[in-house]
A and B are shown apart, each in its own frame.
Chain A
Amino acid sequence: MSEVLDGYEQWLKGAWLTLQLTVYGSGVALVLALVFGLAGTSRHGGVRALNRIYVEFFRGTATLVLLYWFFYALPLVGIKLTSTMVAAVLALGLNVGAYGAEVVRGSIKAVPRAQYEATVALNFTPFQRLRRVLLPQGFALMLPPFGNLLIELMKGTAIVSLVGLVDLTKVSRNLQGSTGETVAAFTVVLVLYFVVAQVLQQFVRLAERRVDRMLGRRPSREPSLGTISAGAPGAGVSS
């Protein structure tokens, strides 16, 4: 146990990489989710089709498959991603973004129709509609599933250990090899991931409470089947 803990500098480095991947990956995912999610609510069939293609494609492929494809196949057709880190962030962001896009689409659609009609009556521009009415209300609905996706993404970062990046998972494997303390190495890494997940979860709760207060709502605690299927990996908000 002690030798594994003596490797704390390695643990810290690994945790830092895991955290970086989580932050960058969720940044990419959030942007993609908003762009393609809003595209899914468009009146134009062509724009909606973009949303469908993106969502079906990147939800259908496993992140690890995508990462391997970036890592092994892309360089052969002449596209070189500058680093494994970029490939990993892209793979994670594209995949989680596809789930996020479904969350955004479903949440915007769930804003009562009268609200939308009111913005038309008030002669809002489409941008004002989104900025002032649809997004703020949709956001309260988006946050809990986004929180789930954030945790999923954080867990998903472990795949980088399979293409040579030294994240938390890789550190545990290295320390197991060098110290022979199998139980300690793999127990410590699981506990570390758990701690990171709890921190992220508290962060999301805080954001949820803020948004609820902003909108003058009382947060509901128990998730219903609807929100669970919305957050389920492999699922989207079916509507």
Chain B
Amino acid sequence: MEWDWHYTGDIIPDLLRGLRYTVVATLLGYVIAVLLGLVWTLLRRTPNVLVRQAVRWVTEFIRCTPLIPQLFFVYYVMPVWGVTLSSLTAGVITLGVHYSTYTAEVYRAGISDVPRGQWEAATALNLPRSRVWLDVVLPQAVRKVIPTLGNYLIAMFKDSPLLLAIGVTELLSTAQSIGSRTFEYLEPMTMVGVLFIVVSVISSILVRRLERRYATN
């Protein structure tokens, strides 16, 4: 069968609308992932053993289970417990929480890469704990992990099509519904692939720039 350029042109606006949902879901999820990841990391350093172990198990569990059943869990189980979420909200929350367990690992490695001397100096200066963290440790740790965090943004973008499992009309599901209307799947599905590659390649170039900027002190 032949590639139909006219048809391709017709479906582009719809696909771009789908792409916008994909991007919005990814960015909102990313905010959750970046903030919650830091919370996990800090909780894993509290003196309370129970809290530390609980956080370890919860994050390990989330990291080791796939996104789609997690989406089902949030979308279908929460209403049983009295919290009804829209599919987009459920998708964003699941995506964010899932990736927060990865960003937590990144922060942890970033924090343990901060030289011991920095901690010792902060202790010698008798800084309060909050200032040790906010003014000494975190600024250095976060700086180092920025490129890695950027990579997770790309990874989340590529996981966002999974949200169609709970009925979010993002890019891929838009293409699927166009296809089922016209019975022409080749153009919409291929264009989805093209759009994904374009966005990922652009963002990986940006991440590489970040790397060059932050990798060397």
Contact = CB atoms under 8 A, between A and B. Distances in A.
Contacts of B61: 190, 194
Given A68-B172, A186-B77, A225 B197 contact: no
B18 to A, nearest CB: 12
A200 to B, nearest CB: 9
**For this complex, into which size category does the number of interface residues on chain B fall?**
35 or more
A186 B72 contact: yes
Nearest to B81: A183
Given A64-B161, A69-B193, A225-B110, A59 B67 contact: no
Q: For A161, A183, A228, which residue has the most chain B Cβ atoms within 10 angstroms?
A: A228
B38 to A, nearest CB: 15
B106 interface: yes
A57 B193 CA distance: 10
Interface stretch (A37-45, A108-116, A128-136, A231-239): A231-239
* Interface residue SS majority, chain B: helix
Contact of B211 (A201, A223, A234, A238): A238
A232 B151 contact: yes
Interface stretch (A80-88, A150-158, A211-219): A150-158
A162 interface: yes
A179 interface: no
Main SS of the interface on chain A? helix
Nearest to B99: A233
A60 B148 contact: no
A151 B64 contact: yes
Interface stretch (B8-16, B122-130, B182-190): B182-190
A62 interface: yes
Interface string B173-192: 00110010000111001101
A202 interface: no
Contacts of B162: 64, 159
A224 B113 contact: yes
B193 A232 contact: no
Interface string A70-84: 001100111000000
Contacts of A77: 1, 186
Interface stretch (B28-36, B39-47, B85-93, B152-160): B152-160
A62 B159 contact: yes
B186 A73 contact: yes
Interface of A: 56-57, 59-66, 68-69, 72-73, 76-78, 151, 154-159, 161-162, 168-169, 172-173, 176, 182-183, 186-187, 189-190, 193-194, 197-198, 201, 222-225, 228-229, 232-235, 238
Given A60-B196, A78-B1, 11 more contacts: A61-B200, A62-B161, A68-B192, A76-B186, A176-B72, A186-B72, A225-B110, A229-B148, A232-B106, A234-B154, A238-B211
Interface of B: 1, 61, 64-70, 72-73, 76-77, 80, 102, 105-106, 109-110, 112-113, 144-145, 147-148, 151-155, 158-162, 164-165, 172, 175-176, 179, 184-186, 189-190, 192-193, 196-197, 200-201, 204, 207-208, 211
